[in-house]
A and B are shown apart, each in its own frame.
Chain A
Amino acid sequence: MKLDINDIGLITGLSLFLGIWLGHVGVRKLEFNFANIKLLSMLFFLMGCILEWISITGEILEWKVIFGVIGVTLIWDALELFRQEKRVQRGHAPANPSNPRHQRILQQYSDASTLDPFKVDLIKPLTTVFNEKSDEGKDR
């Protein structure tokens, strides 16, 4: 018996996962280090548009999906850079003291901090991560 497999769904899923993952990590890293996120955001938007153009004009369905999905996530990331800046202002993400833009945020926003709230033992022990920590201890 020959199985007729349609790989479009799998490729969509993989591109989406890769797109979110890269965006997730990339946005945090770039926002942390770059002084000018407006320029960066425009580059993301432009790159997203180029990928969408390749997707629209392309012939092979698999590539159309890969470029289409990753292009849209790039356009989203262009916005996400500013959302990340807001998180830094609220102290939900760590500020980088050697980044001039973050230096200004640290001066203007009292909630902003160089501490990463997710590295929680710096602030207060959380029961949510307590079990995990004791598990990690066993591994070592």
Chain B
Amino acid sequence: MTIFGLVVGVISLILIGSGFVWVIQGERYFGYLWWPYVMGFGVLMIILSLFIHNDWISALLGALGASWIWGSTELKNQAIRAELGWYPEHTPKIHPPFYRIIEKWKAPRL
């Protein structure tokens, strides 16, 4: 009987909570076109977690990765919210590398 699962759950909740903040601030100053990099970072964290033998660190990296992948799908939604006037807009944005190419892709929204 251990609280490993419960603690991992609470940590996940905190990570998602931090997601609310970085998605809003990230979209405001950097724009939603960063989404492939954010998603890539999330995938990388999960792949990395496979090779970590400490269960706590592995679970933490997995939760971090999942919350970043989720956040990457929220960036576009956040851009729409900002444009609807629900959040203050900030221009110009700091564009990511290759943003001209990324612009042509359909940003994922869940």
Contact of A61 among B4, B60, B84 (CB under 8 A): B4
Verify if A52 is at the interface (C-beta below 8 Å from B).
yes
Residue of B nearest to A68 (CB): B5
Q: Is the CB of A56 within 8 A of B1?
A: yes
Which bracket fits the contact residues of B? Answer: 35 or more
8 Å CB interface, B10-52 against A? 10, 12-13, 16, 32, 46, 48-52
Q: Is the CB of A6 within 8 A of B49?
A: yes
Q: Is the CB of A52 within 8 A of B9?
A: yes
Chain B residues in 8 Å Cβ range of A17: 66, 69-70
Q: Is the CB of A12 within 8 A of B50?
A: no
Listed stretches A30-38, A39-47, A98-106, A128-136; interface member? A128-136
Contacts A17-B66, A126-B83; A65 near B8 (Cβ below 8 A): yes
Q: Is the CB of A56 within 8 A of B55?
A: no
Contacts A56-B1, A118-B80, A128-B79; A92 near B86 (Cβ below 8 A): yes
Q: Please measure, in the bound complex, the distance between the C-alpha atom of A57 and the C-alpha atom of B26, giving whole angstroms.
A: 40
Residue of B nearest to A87 (CB): B86
Q: Distance in Å from the Cβ of B98 to the closest Cβ of chain A?
A: 16
Q: Distance in Å from the Cβ of B17 to the closest Cβ of chain A?
A: 9
Verify if A1 is at the interface (C-beta below 8 Å from B).
no
Contacts A24-B110, A55-B5, A129-B80; A9 near B52 (Cβ below 8 A): yes
Q: Which residues of A contact B (CB under 8 A)?
A: 3-14, 16-17, 19-21, 24, 52, 55-58, 61, 63-73, 76, 92, 117-118, 120, 126-129, 131-132, 135-136
